[in-house]
Amino acid sequence: MNPLTPVIETRQLRKVYLEGTEAEVVALQGANLTVRRGEFVAIMGPSGSGKTTLMNLLGCLDTPTSGTYLCDGEDVSTLDAEALAQVRLHKIGFVFQQFNLLPRMTALENVMMPLGYVRMQRRQRRDKAMALLEAVGLASRAGHRPTELSGGQQQRVSIARALVNDPPLLLADEPTGALDSHTGEEILALFKRLRAEEGRTVVLITHDHHVAEHADAIYEIHDGVLGARRAGRQL
Closest CA to 62 of 54, 70, 72, 50: 54
CATH of the domain at 226: 3.40.50.300
Q: Is residue 73 part of a domain?
A: no
Q: Is residue 18 part of a domain?
A: no
Q: Backbone phi, then psi, for 179, in 5-degree steps?
A: -115, 155
- Which residues neighbour 223 within 8 Å (Cβ) at sequence distance 6 or greater? 29, 49, 50
pLDDT-derived band at 93 (thresholds 50, 70, 90) equals very high
Q: Is residue 10 part of a domain?
A: no
Q: Is residue 13 part of a domain?
A: no
Q: Is residue 23 part of a domain?
A: no
Q: Is residue 110 part of a domain?
A: yes
CA distance linking residue 188 with residue 40, whole number of Å: 10
Q: Is residue 69 part of a domain?
A: no
- Count up the domains in the chain and report the number: 1
Q: Backbone phi, then psi, for 116, in 5-degree steps?
A: -65, -15
- Which residues neighbour 226 within 8 Å (Cβ) at sequence distance 6 or greater? 28, 31, 32, 33, 43, 50, 54, 219, 220
In single-letter form, the type of residue at position 76 comes to V
In angstroms, the Cα distances linking 76 to 8, 80, 114, 204, 209 are 11, 9, 21, 20, 30
> What's the rounded mean pLDDT across residues 204-231?
95
* Span 47-70, pLDDT tens digits: 889 999 999 999 999 999 999 999
Look at residue 166 in the predicted model and tell me its pLDDT: 92
Mean pLDDT score of the chain: 93
Domain that includes residue 59, residue range: 39-63+81-231
- Which residues neighbour 136 within 8 Å (Cβ) at sequence distance 6 or greater? 156, 157, 159, 160, 190
pLDDT-derived band at 117 (thresholds 50, 70, 90) equals confident
Strands ordered across the beta sheet of 74-75:
25-35, 8-17, 66-71, 74-75
Look at residue 126 in the predicted model and tell me its pLDDT: 94
In the predicted model, is pLDDT for residue 118 greater than 80?
Answer: no
Q: Is residue 194 part of a domain?
A: yes
Q: Work out the number of other CB atoms within 10 angstroms of the CB of residue 229.
A: 14
Look at residue 1 in the predicted model and tell me its pLDDT: 61
In the predicted model, is pLDDT for residue 124 greater than 70?
Answer: yes
> What's the rounded mean pLDDT across residues 26-36?
95
> What's the rounded mean pLDDT across residues 206-211?
94
Look at residue 191 in the predicted model and tell me its pLDDT: 95
Look at residue 42 in the predicted model and tell me its pLDDT: 97
In the predicted model, is pLDDT for residue 235 greater than 80?
Answer: no
Look at residue 149 in the predicted model and tell me its pLDDT: 97
* Span 149-195, pLDDT tens digits: 999 999 999 999 999 999 999 999 999 999 999 999 999 999 999 99
Rg over alpha carbons for the chain, rounded to the nearest Å, is 18
